[in-house]
Amino acid sequence: MPVITDPPLEVLPSSRMLIGASTDVAPTCEGVPHRYAATGTETATVPFARPEDVDAAVDRAAEAAIVWRNLPCERRRDLLLSFADRLRDDDDRLSAISVIDSAIKARGFGRLCAETLAYNAGWVDKLGGEIVTSYVGRGFDYTVPEPYGVVAVIIPWNAPALTMTSVIAPALAAGNAVVVKASELAPFAALRIGELALEAGLPPGVVNVLAGDGQVGRCLTGHPGVQKIHFTGSTPAGRDVLAHAATNLTPVGLELGGKSGNLVFDDADLDVAAKLAVAAATGLNGQVCTAGARILAHAGIYDELVDRIGTLMGRVVVGDPADEATTVGPVITDAAAVRIVGMIERAADSGARVVVGGRRMDGEYARGNFVEPTLVADVDPQSEIAQDEIFGPAISVTRFEDEDEAVEIANGTRYGLAAYVQTHDADRAHRLAASLQAGMIYVNGGLRAHPPSAPFGGVKGSGFGRLGGRVGIEEFVHHKNVWMNT
């Protein structure tokens, strides 16, 4: 039985709120205790931003946005590269903070964040408009990309450092200032990134960080001083964001949930397919929106694949997130653990077969929110566990007979974030890439982290808008048209 250690609280950032250069928290701020998910240990009190704090952050961002966009482009580029260097140098501490935030196995988070910032910094001096052919009258017509101004960025708790950086990097590169609302369940990495932005020399107010619950998010998304919103989180919460943004007709980008089908055909490498399935269920403790843990397996290899996945799941090392030997840690809260186990039990009651796991863990694990690594086979594609996000260390497996049925099952959810295809038939891979309703298709494998140069985003109930590459920068500018009479 492993020993689950308490976290090193000395690595936590000193700030609990960042508005401009100020980290002062008003004595009237209400707060909640943050608890380390692996042990239940209280780490620190997280103050909720008040409406006046939101006002102050938006006002400070509006002032800083003017300063930021008016800096020479090479100066903004160099400051973002300096910011990236700070993140890279802070790798060990930022990774340790990320462990405390969400009890995830975090390695190299500072480096990954730095790569995202450095890539987007390269776009600062490459954004340009176009010369437009004039159809009516004689004139010189051109377009200019302009930043929105203040961008509200709402991030989730499952990988806050990576999520925050993936949004603020293109927003800052496009010339905007940001107000980040971090989850009260995992605020510390976001606050540390805000501190590093100041240390790197970014003007105070370009990056502001608040923490709080949905009420703080509603105050921010309904704020008249916000010109653009980007939200990452659940689909129901995304609808709430849209409703509040509608008050001021604020444009919104949404990166929401997923229920990614992982289609395994009879010509696939089953060793690779089984390893990919287990990695999907254990990365970030299974709390990943793109996780390919909804396995759709061809009837010809179904039983063999289930056996292989079951064997690997039985070898998963559950333990301390800070331990290098650990494969999977706890889920974020006690309520999450109860929900996940309930989903598995209801699946079994409806006829599915629990091959491995399925229970809350006891003994040394009882202090935290540990759920056994779980494999559920013979899953009805219309059942709850096949339709709703598990967001924990669990895999479901459903049988299909042919390609058409596989596509029908894969597309038969309200989500459309990612899809995975395991086959050595190139023609089939291209057919499925065209047929699957998802924003991202991965063939014969997956990625530890989505590259900053490639678009990330979904369709259907998984949201709209993209991060990554040039289209990610374009999310954070609007195009002004200028016509001059000649």
Whether residue 379 sits in one domain with residue 247: no
Q: Which candidate, 207, 198, 251, 172, places its Cα nearest to that of 61?
A: 207
Q: Which candidate, 292, 295, 262, places its Cα nearest to that of 279?
A: 292
Residue 252's H or E segment, with its range, is: strand 252-255
CATH number for the domain spanning 343: value is: 3.40.309.10
Above 90 in pLDDT, residue 287?
A: yes
Residue pLDDT, tens place only, 191-221: 999 999 999 999 999 999 999 999 999 999 9
Whether residue 385 sits in one domain with residue 447: yes
In a domain, 427, yes or no: yes
Residue pLDDT, tens place only, 184-199: 999 999 999 999 999 9
Whether 255 is a known active-site residue: answer: yes
- What is the residue range of 382's domain? 261-451
- pLDDT recorded at residue 3: 81
- Active-site pick, 289, 372, 460, 475: 289
Helix residue ranges, H only, 122-159 = none
Whether residue 362 sits in one domain with residue 426: yes
Whether residue 270 sits in one domain with residue 170: no
CATH number for the domain spanning 31: value is: 3.40.605.10
In a domain, 134, yes or no: yes
pTM of this prediction? 0.96
Whether residue 265 sits in one domain with residue 252: no
In a domain, 171, yes or no: yes
Query: Strand pairing partners for 375?
Result: 356, 395
* DSSP letter string, 257-284: ----EEEE-TTS-HHHHHHHHHHHHHGG
- pLDDT confidence band for 24 (50 / 70 / 90): confident
- pLDDT recorded at residue 419: 97
Whether 289 is a known active-site residue: answer: yes
Whether residue 293 sits in one domain with residue 401: yes
Mean pLDDT score of the chain: 96
Whether residue 292 sits in one domain with residue 310: yes
Whether 73 is a known active-site residue: answer: no
- pLDDT confidence band for 1 (50 / 70 / 90): low
- Active-site pick, 105, 113, 115, 181: 181
How far apart are the C-alpha atoms of 310 and 374, rounded to whole Å? 9
Above 70 in pLDDT, residue 260?
A: yes
Whether residue 278 sits in one domain with residue 137: no
26-40, 91-105, 257-271: which has the minimum mean pLDDT?
A: 26-40
82: which 2 tokens?
């300096």
pLDDT over 90 for what percent of the chain? 93
Whether residue 234 sits in one domain with residue 371: no
In a domain, 2, yes or no: no
Count of domains for the chain: 2
Average pLDDT over residues 77-106: 96
- pLDDT recorded at residue 450: 84
- Burial pattern 375-394, b for ≥16 Cβ within 10 A else e, equals bbbbbebebebbeebbbbbb
- pLDDT confidence band for 138 (50 / 70 / 90): confident
In a domain, 1, yes or no: no
- Active-site pick, 115, 255, 372, 475: 255
- Strand order in 374-377's β-sheet? 353-356, 374-377, 394-400, 294-298, 261-264, 418-422, 440-443
Residue pLDDT, tens place only, 39-64: 999 999 999 999 999 999 999 999 99
End-to-end alpha-carbon separation of the chain, Å?
80
How far apart are the C-alpha atoms of 107 and 99, rounded to whole Å? 9
